Amino acid sequence: MTGLAELMLELKTRSGMSYGALAKRLHVSTSTLHRYCSGEATPVEFAVVERFGKVCKATPEEQAELHRRWLVVDALRQQAAPCHEPHPPEAPPREAAAIPRPRVRPRPGWILAASTAALLLAGAVLAADLRQEAPSAHVSAAETTPLAVTVNPYAWPDPCTPRYLVNRPPSQVQAPPAGQEAPTWVAAHGAVTSGDQLIEIAVQGTGAEAVVLHSIRVRVAASDPALPWNDYLMRFRDVGCGGPLTPRGFEVDLDAARPIATPGAKQRGFPLKVDVSDPEVLMVTARSTMRDVRWFLELEWSSGARRGLLRIDDAGAPFHVSGARGRPSYDYSLDAHKWMNRTDR
């Protein structure tokens, strides 16, 4: 039984509901729900797991743990199957690596509120090589590296808070995308993440030995004055979003003289250990209010006598985020079918 199944069974038992009654509220069959709780199957969509937690009255902490365990199980499940993923026409294709990416699925409550909203985007699958200098995570050399890394540079914590700076007037900007369409939308508009940038990183061992993760370092490639562009909030005006998940993660202040990754309240600090059957999902939120920053991460690891630094970036390019303080800010009106200044309420 997987860790996800164990927690689902615990919540189901605590709820006092039968499989039949619970399955009816989740809109799945009784046999399917039983397979989820016994570990024989895993929901393809996280939305099913989230709805399960809500019906069983899971606490916010339990919901976050359901989310973490689903990410881990989903990544392991995909490892056994080839990844056939379409690439958006405007964005460059990503290189396939040792394991496919973990996918974070749309949350149903938000879809009920706004059908185009989604939770998170799945990212580019990347692998790493050990070099004298820190290698980039997009380099594929699975035969020599003890780690396989999945990087999602377009992760959304929820469909209401992501923001992008675009150097266009509102009349030339398309409506907010669903989370999984963010790369296409960003490429089409030349957009840059505004304010907070969430990076989702799944790290898994590939060899017989466990790999110890010692630290994660923040490297700034360039820091300039914030972009003087319009700020577009990926939400629909007057549409509720519900409360976002609060996954474990690290926080980075990119406006600091020497940015560092600080563990959040629910994130275990380093060292961390991973192996083939026990990956680790790291969520890194980098913030800037005053600067236009290009940055990347370096993950320090060891396995037996081997040590190295693994560069984590956006398919070979630095991550990119800019502050938006004082910039015109817009959200989208479903009634008017256009972007509207957030002060016009």
Q: State how far the Cα of 181 lies from the Cα of 242, in Å rounded to an integer.
A: 21
Residue 121 scores a pLDDT above 60? no
Which residues lie closer than 8 Å to 195 by C-beta, 6 or more apart?
Answer: 163, 287, 288, 289, 321, 323, 324
**Percentage above 90 pLDDT, the chain:** 44
* Token reading at 136: 């980039």
- In the chain the beta strands, taken as DSSP E runs, fall at 124-127, 147-155, 163-166, 192-194, 196-205, 211-225, 230-236, 250-253, 261-263, 272-274, 280-287, 291-303, 306-312, 319-322, 329-333, 338-341
- Tell me what the mean pLDDT of segment 139-143 comes to: 37
* pLDDT tens-place string over residues 16-59: 999 988 988 888 888 889 989 988 888 887 878 888 988 999 98
* Token reading at 27: 């809109």
- Tell me what the mean pLDDT of segment 240-261 comes to: 78
Crossing angle of helices 3-15 and 19-26, rounded to 10°: 110
In order, the DSSP letters of 139-155 are ---TTT-SEEEEEEEEE
| DSSP three-state, residue 40 | coil
* pLDDT tens-place string over residues 59-84: 888 888 888 788 888 777 766 655 44
Residue 120 scores a pLDDT above 50? no
- Tell me what the mean pLDDT of segment 202-212 comes to: 90
More confident residue, 87 or 312: 312
* pLDDT tens-place string over residues 157-204: 877 789 999 999 999 999 998 888 889 999 999 999 999 999 999 999
Q: State how far the Cα of 63 lies from the Cα of 231, in Å rounded to an integer.
A: 31
